[in-house]
Each structure stands twice: as structure tokens, then as C-alpha cells.
């Protein structure tokens, strides 16, 4: 190793570009289930920082992601918004994104998990497989059984006592529907007495969770869905 190479490898500070760091942070936060629950900022920082990097090197990255609405930070806890998931997908597709050092097993497995769950390649190509096409939901009649299946799964797996957060249903269905379609069809399910949309308090509410809930014209912000019939 030449002196120049050694100096570069042992230099302190953020390695790579800020754009690359943002994508790495979003990927790690997504893999840590930050879209569903808050993650300790310290745990996330420890996950992403590399040799000779310090926690403070990522402060500017966190601030920029928060300003853009990709993440929400509250009392040293971080959560990932729907916009953050979109930005992660865009960052991985960007031809300029690359890992500028060896990646560990956690990062490699996070990438594999992203590929399996989204069906989206990371090289910028458009997914055209039949599996990806089947994921799209084109009508209310197609949406209703999917929403009910997701509701039942979340209610069962997380012991939610028949009050399932709307933001979790939205995020579980993901990009299979647009935000406006999701709102329209969930409200239609309420009109058809399938769901009752409820307000109340959400103890761990964050701005992105509120954004991923639903606002009704008459009753305002609704956080939870309750299934009314079998």
C-alpha cells in the first residue's frame, strides 16, 4: 500500500459522498423496521458508521433527511416515512450509487431483503416480470381482499386488539396502490361498513405516521381501522 493510499484509508470523517451516505442510512433504517417503529438514533449510527467515521459525521446527513421528510426524529429516535422508502428506492437505482468499501453481512442481507420484498432491481432497470405486474392493484374490488388480509395479519401478528393503525396497512400494501387510491378505497370500505375508521390517541405518533393515516372531511384525522364484519 502506498503512503497516499494509507493516508486515504485512515482519514477521519465521512467517507464517500453525502448522497451515498443518505442511501446507506435509509437502507439500514428500513432494514431495522424503521418504517413500522422508531429506532434508536445511536443504534442506527452504530450500524452505518465505518472505520474512522464518528457519530458526528452523520449529523448533517440526518438533518438533511429530516428536512426532506424522509425521516422523523423525536427524542433521539428515528422513523422512516413513506417518502423515505421512495427516496431509498431512487437512491439504490441511481447509477452513481456504489459502496466505496467492503460491506458487511448486514448490509448485503438488507439489499437481498429489499430485492425480495420490492421486486425492484438496484441498477436502474424497470421491473417487468409478471410477479411485479401482479403486485399492482387496479380496482376497489382487488384492493378490498388485500386490505382485509393485511389487516388480519397485522392484527394477529402484533396483538392489536382489532384496532390496526392505518399507516401500517398503507405501508404494508406499499407501492401496489397510489396514496390517493389507498385513501379513496379505504374510505369506500368504511362507507360499505367493512371498516370503521377511528381517531383517538396514538402514543407513538410521529409526523410521518400522521401523514400515512387518513383525514376525513367530517371527522378529521383517523389513525385506526376496525373491521366491522367477517
Domain ranges, residue 41: 3-118
pLDDT, position 10: 41
Query: Is 108 found in the same domain as 167?
Result: no
4 band by pLDDT with thresholds 50, 70 and 90: very low
What DSSP element (H or E) covers 71? strand 71-74
230 band by pLDDT with thresholds 50, 70 and 90: low
Q: Give the domain-ending residue among 118, 150, 180.
A: 118
Q: Tell me: the pLDDT tens digits for 189-211?
A: 999 999 999 988 888 888 888 88
Q: Give the domain-ending residue among 92, 118, 144.
A: 118
Position 194 in a domain? yes
Percentage with pLDDT > 90 across the chain: 36
- The span from the CA of 66 to the CA of 64, in Å, is 5
Total number of residues shown for the chain: 230
At residue 134's C-alpha, the angle toward residues 194 and 190, to 5°, is 15
Long-range own/partner contacts, residues 66-73 (CB < 8 A, 24 or more apart): 69/208, 70/22, 70/26, 71/26, 71/29, 71/34, 71/208, 72/206, 72/207, 72/208, 72/209, 73/41
Q: What is the mean pLDDT of the chain?
A: 82
Query: Is 145 found in the same domain as 91?
Result: no
Name the 3-class secondary structure at 1.
Answer: coil
- The span from the CA of 79 to the CA of 35, in Å, is 6
Could you tell me the pTM of the whole model?
0.51
Query: Is 156 found in the same domain as 73?
Result: no
Count the neighbouring beta carbons within 10 Å of the beta carbon of residue 59.
13
pLDDT, position 5: 40
Position 130 in a domain? no
- The span from the CA of 15 to the CA of 212, in Å, is 33
Contact 225, 197 (CB under 8 A): yes
Query: Is 114 found in the same domain as 8?
Result: yes
Nearest alpha carbon to residue 207 among 79, 25, 99, 93: 79
Q: Give the domain-ending residue among 60, 92, 118.
A: 118
100 band by pLDDT with thresholds 50, 70 and 90: low
pLDDT (average), residues 82-109: 80
Amino acid at each position: 500500500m502506498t503512503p497516499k493510499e494509507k493516508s486515504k484509508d485512515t482519514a477521519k470523517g465521512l467517507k464517500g459522498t453525502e448522497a451515498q451516505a443518505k442511501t446507506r442510512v435509509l437502507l439500514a433504517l428500513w432494514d431495522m423496521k424503521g418504517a413500522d417503529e422508531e429506532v434508536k438514533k445511536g443504534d442506527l449510527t452504530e450500524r452505518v458508521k465505518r472505520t474512522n467515521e464518528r457519530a458526528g459525521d452523520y449529523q448533517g446527513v440526518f438533518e438533511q433527511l429530516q428536512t426532506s421528510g424522509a425521516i422523523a426524529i423525536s427524542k433521539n429516535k428515528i422513523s422512516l416515512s413513506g417518502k423515505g422508502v421512495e427516496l431509498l428506492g431512487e437512491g439504490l437505482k441511481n447509477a452513481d450509487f456504489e459502496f466505496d468499501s467492503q460491506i458487511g453481512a448486514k448490509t448485503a442481507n438488507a439489499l437481498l431483503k429489499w430485492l425480495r420484498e420490492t421486486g425492484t432491481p438496484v441498477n436502474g432497470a424497470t421491473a417487468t416480470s409478471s410477479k411485479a405486474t401482479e403486485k399492482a392493484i387496479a380496482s376497489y374490488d382487488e384492493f378490498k381482499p388485500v386490505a382485509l388480509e393485511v389487516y388480519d395479519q397485522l392484527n394477529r401478528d402484533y396483538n392489536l386488539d382489532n384496532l390496526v393503525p392505518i399507516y401500517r396497512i398503507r405501508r404494508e400494501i406499499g407501492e401496489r396502490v397510489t396514496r390517493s387510491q389507498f385513501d379513496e378505497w379505504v374510505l369506500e370500505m368504511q362507507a360499505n361498513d367493512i371498516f370503521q375508521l377511528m381517531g383517538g390517541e396514538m402514543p407513538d405518533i410521529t409526523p410521518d405516521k400522521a401523514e400515512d393515516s387518513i383525514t376525513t372531511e367530517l371527522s378529521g384525522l383517523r389513525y385506526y381501522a376496525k373491521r366491522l364484519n367477517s
